[in-house]
Structures are given as structure tokens and as C-alpha cells.
Structure 1
Amino acid sequence: MTFLPGGLATGIGSLPYQDPQQALPLIRENMPVIPHWPQLPQRGSTEGFVQQFLQPLVHFGLLVTERDRVVFDDRNPCWSEMLTNFYTAYLAVEEKDANALETFALPPGAAAGFYAFMEEMSRDIGEALYLKGHLAGPLTIAFQLKNSRGRVAYYEEQLRDLVVKTLAAHAYWQAAALARLNRQPIIFVDEPAVSVYGQFNYITVTREMIINDLNTIFHFIHEAGGLAGVHSCNAIDWSILCECDLDIINLDAYNFGSSLFVYAPELKDFIQRGGVIAWGIVPTSEKAFDEEERSLLLRWKELFSGLVQRGIPAEQLYRQSMITPACGTGLLAPELAEHIYRLTRKVSAQVREGAF
């Protein structure tokens, strides 16, 4: 799919409000062409990844709460039967069964921002050409879940498969829901845990595992007509994402932008096949109060020039660039989040005008 954002802005996902009606005007004002639905962690644990993205596993009895811990109930005598029910639903999704797909929907009580966003956009789409959604990634989630024996879910092939397939089917549902508003969806997979690859304590996490799991999710996003992105707010091995069936790489460019340089050959291939870099150049910390659009633009220009000097064509890189905050803002003070969004809009406007 041809996607040439040329400096357009979007957000990562989370905002520090409890009422979605506080979030939506901020998004529409500062990211009118690619607005995103707001995740609202301040509403409490209902906005966490289990309630938002893994409810199908709870629904089928595979994931349960034990003494304030969420675990896979793989010692349950009905485990095989529950697996059968889950995979039956998943295979039906693969066959594009609309009823089965609803099993993987965002629960209304756990995603107030999504449903408020859908209602507002259906009423007035405004300047939007794309609609952005997001979900937590399989590596990030599977490292936080365990089975009944305390084993990390990521290291149990069956449990990892359940997480991946649940997220893939959900990504399909989310992209399809956004597409019903007659705009192309963009779905970011938030996957900071890619940073564990290559670390001594995680030697069993292979490149192939990461790529295959992510590609399963990207396939479903593409099936729904969407663009697939990955957000990772760390210095990772970017060549892994360049090998994926991925459209957009989003990074914390403010803190880790220079980490791209060593992977310039792989990024060049990624750009040449249509890939986009979403530069998270606006810091999501108190440092944002010390910055202005001019200082951030200069910082971005240095990173941009660094890739150009390493062989990536400037005009192509420019056309295939986006501007974002470095990360989500859900845990920040509202006034800081609002400042970050305004800075993102201003930097994006400068980039789009070619002021670099």
C-alpha cells in the first residue's frame, strides 16, 4: 500500500484523562489528519491489556484471576475442551465469520475512548484521512503472564500461540471497525519488549519467533485493509522490524534516534519497499517544557541527515516520514500531555512545509 505521509502527525495512544470527552478535542485539534482513539489508563485497571485485548482468553476460561494474579489455567481438567472452543472461534475468524470476530472485540466497559472516538468520527470525520488504533504486542504481554506453575507464558509455545492469535484476531476486528468509517485504518502494535532480543538473560528469544509472531498480527491488519506499525520506545535491533511485513516503524527518536544509524542498510531496503519511519521526536517527559518546535525540528533534522548520509535518499525519506510523541502520555500530568500534543502539531507543520 502506498502511504506517503510527508510529515503528518499522530499520537501513540494513551492520554491522562478519565473522560474521553477531554481527550478527543486535543486529538482532533493537533492530529486532525491521522487522529487516534485514546487509551485512558487513569480510568483504572479496566483499561489494562488483559481487559482490553485478552478478554477472549478470559471468556473461554483459559485465563483466570488467582489471588490478584492473572494466570493461564492450564491445569484445569477442562483445558483441552477450552482450547478447542478458542481455536474453533479463531479459525472462524480466519474464514471471515463476522459473528466469531465479535468475540475478539474491545469490551465497551474497558475501552471508553475507542467507542467515544468511533461515535465522534461517525458524526463528523473532519479532516481525517486515516484513523489510528493500537494494541499491546505479543512479546510485551506474554512476558507479563504466567501459567499455573509460574512459568512465563512466552516460553510456553502453546500459551504464546494463544496470545499471538488473540491479538491477531483483535487487530483484525479493530482495523475492520475503523475501516467502516470509510478511512484507511493504521494499527500500531506497542512492542517495547523487542529490546530483550540479544540480551544474555533472553537467549531463547529468537529473531524468528519475534518476526513470525508479529507477522501473524500484521497479516490480519492487512486483511482488513489497514496499515501496520510497531511502536518501540527503546534502542532495539531495528533490522528485526525491517524484516517484518510492516508498513511503519515508530521509535522514541528524541532519546534513541541515533540507534537507527547502524541499521541504515536495512532501513534503506525498508524505505525502498514503501516503509515509513514515524519519528517520536517530541519527548514525553518534563523535558518537553524545555523544548520548542525549532529545537525539536533541528534535532529531527540531524537524525534525518544522519540517515541520508548513510545512503537513504532524502526525498524518499521525507515523503515516508511521520511525526509523533516519543511515547504515550497516559501517566503524565494533563498540562504536560497537552503541551506535548501541541509541540507535535507544530513540529509536524514545520516538516510538512519543508522547513528543514
Structure 2
Amino acid sequence: MWQTTSLPMAIGSLPYRTAEPALALIGREMPLIPHWPQLPLRGAQEGFVLQNLNLLMEVGILERDGEKIVFATDAPDWPDRLAAFYMVYLAVEEGDEDALSQFAMPKEAATGFYAFLDAMAAGTGDAVCLKGQVVGPLTAGFQLTDRTGRPAYYDEQIRDVIVKNLAMTARWQARALTAFGLKTLVFVDEPGISIFGQSTYITVTREMIIEDMNTVLEGIRAGGADGGIHTCAAVDGSILFDSHTGVVSFDAYDYFDSMLPYRAELKRFLERGGVVAWGIVPTSEAARDETPEKLAARLDAAWVQLAERGIDRETLRNQALITPACGTGTLPEDLAEHIYRLTTEVSRLVRAE
């Protein structure tokens, strides 16, 4: 990674129905590390399945069942559908770049992504890094089910398909973003990590989670970008810091204390050059009552706690990004815009110290 020196960055989703106002906000508030905007309010076509797992729809591994999309494990030709997927996957592994394009996000499912590519082609401006994002395997594996309602992550075969598909989609996205010649970060958005340790998910092991995330991160690196992991709830921080990620992004506004037990892992992560994206700006109505000064002081208090426990204060600052706690895709537009402005101003205050 590089010394990020507390630059501002955002998470991904915005509450617009077209790309133009989203790109305008990003260009205005996040010019140094612009991201492509996810636009969930455009409808179901912008959901994570079509954005990240479209090939599985095309080969029939996933199919529509009324209002839902399910894994068609009961299809008589299920083995043939699996074989069709693995044929494309193996072709990419053997160096077929044309096969990689089959893992592309469809234009109708990622309006913001393609508008972002067009904007960057017209000029990258002050950008020093571009940011993208893909859904995490755990999150996808528990939101999708077979026709009986069983979460896909519990099926070893389907889990393998999900992980391999996401690794290739991430690789394709990284390849597209790195074409502009700038440093590129692609994040694995993995809020699903928060299930780890809950009694109802006892069969999901730490090793499974790390292995699957690392596979997707390897796909990002194969595409020429650096990888990060984003989560927005209280999680076992050791899973994040012990993975192969270069950046850990978390909700530092509500869940900073949940990271304190993992300060040894955090220290090792920083020593190997890792970066922490501090989600210090709340992505809720609470943001309306915050000021840049209050949030900068809140972050400073967190860093003081870590410094008192043996983590160098300057290292924290130099290997930091300042972000909102999570995406803003379901918030009112004016609140999302306020959150982006707060993020930029907090970053400015921290860097001025």
C-alpha cells in the first residue's frame, strides 16, 4: 500500500436514480479517491446478484423463482450448468482474456460503473487512486438460497461457485479500473462477517471466512489492483487483520470499541503496511447533529486510546483513510451529500494537524 495520510474516501452506494448527480457529488467531494456509484434506488436490476453474479444467471445456476432468485440445484441438468460455469472459469485461469469478459457487470445492472468509466476516460482530474467494490462471498452466500430456502453458503459446491465467480468479477473490475494508469482499490463489501460467532451460524468457521475473502482478494490483485475489505458492524477484527487485505474499512463511529480487543492484530497489520479506513462519519440521521470538529475530535480520542496501548500515533494517521461508516444508498439525498461533505472536512482537519 501507500501512505494514504488520512485522505477522504467513500464507500460506494448513493441515493440517486441516475449517475449524473452521483458523479457530480463524487467529483466535488471525493476528487482524490473517486469511486463508481452504486445506485440501488434504480431498482432490483442494480442489486448485487446481477452486478456480481450475472454469469450464474446466464448458465442457469441461478434462476428466477417468482420474486426471488435462487440456486437451481433441483434442475435435472444441474451438473451440466455447473460444468458450463467451470469451463469459463478455467479458461480465464489458463489466460483467456476474452473469457474474463463473461464475468463483466451488465451495463443495465451497473449504470454508475459505466458512467464512471466514461467520466474517467474524459479525464481523471486530481485523482490519485480509483475505488471500486464487489459484494463479499459470505454476504452473497447467506442472502441467496436454494429453492428450499437453505442458504447457499452451507452448500460446499455452491459456495465454491460463488467465491470463484466473485474473484473473477473482482478481477474484471480491477482490470477495467486500472486501465486509467492510477493506483486502484477494489473493496470486498462483507457486512456478513458479523454473523461469525453467533450460535445460529456455528458451522461457519473463521478459516472458511478468511479463505473465501482471500480468494476474492487474489482476484483483485490478479487484475492489477489492491484489495480492501469493508464491514459496517461489530466484527471479530482478527479475521480482517489476518486476511490478505491491504485495507480494513469499518464503522469507527459506532463500533470503535469492538476493535480494541484486536489491537495486537491491528499493530501487526499496520507494521506490514496495512491501511485502516476509519468510518468516523455516521451514515444515519445522527450525521445531521455532527460537525467536522466533533468528528475529528472523536477520531483523535480513538487514536489516543490506541497510542496508549502501544500503537504509534503517526502511523495511525499516515496509514489511514477517512470515510463514512457505510454506504448512503438508502438515505435522503441531502443527508448523503451532508455526509460526503463531513467526510471531506474531517479529513482536512486531520491532515492539518
TM-score (structure 1 length as normaliser): 0.98
Displacement after TM superposition at 1:151 (Å): 1.8
2:128 matched residue in structure 1? 129
Task: Determine the structure 1 residue equivalent to 2:83.
Answer: 84
Other structure's SS at 1:57 match: helix
Deviation by residue 1:29-79 (Cα, 9 ceiling, x = unmatched):
111111000000110111101111110100111000112121111121211
**Distance in 1, Cα, partners of 2:135 & 2:236:** 19
Residue correspondence of structure 1 range 1-356 to structure 2 within 5 A = 2-354=1-353
What is the total number of aligned residue pairs between the two structures? 353
> Once the 2 structures are TM-superposed, how far is the Cα of residue 160 of structure 1 from its aligned partner?
0.8
CA distance in 1 between counterparts of 2:139 and 2:47 reads: 13
**SS where residue 280 of structure 1 aligns?**
strand
Between the aligned partners of 1:96 and 1:323, the Cα distance in structure 2 is 37
Report the more deviating stretch, 144-153 or 217-226. 144-153
Q: Offset of 1:97 from its aligned partner?
A: 1.6
Work out whether residues 38 and 113 of structure 1, in 8 Å CA contact, stay in contact via their aligned partners in 2. yes
What is the RMSD computed on CA atoms of the aligned residues? 0.9
CA shift digits 1:155-187 (9 cap, x unpaired): 000011111111110000000100001112101
Secondary structure of the residue aligned to 2:13 is coil
Determine helix, strand or coil for the equivalent of 1:166.
helix
One-letter amino acid of the counterpart of residue 312, structure 2 = P
Alpha-carbon offset, residue 150 of structure 1: 2.7
Q: Distance in 2 between matches of 1:95 and 1:295?
A: 53
Letter in 1 for 2:200: N
Deviation, 1:148, is: 2.8
What amino acid is the match of 1:213?
Answer: D
**Local SS of the residue matching 1:65:** strand
Moved over 2 A (4+): none
1:82 CA drift (Å): 1.2
Are the equivalent residues in 2 in contact too, given 1:261–1:310 (CA < 8 A)?
no
Unpaired runs of at least 5, structure 1:
none
**SS in structure 1 of the partner of residue 143 of structure 2:** coil
Q: Unmatched 5+ residue regions in structure 2? A: none
CA displacement 1:182-239 (0-9 Å, x = unmatched): 1121011111110111111111000010000000000111122211111111110000
1:258-315 per-position Cα deviation (integer Å, ceiling 9, x unaligned): 2111100010001000111100001111111101100000000011111111111122
What is the one-letter code of the residue matched to 1:19?
Answer: T
Structure 1 position 130, deviation (Å): 0.7
Q: TM-score by structure 2 length?
A: 0.98
SS where residue 103 of structure 1 aligns?
A: helix
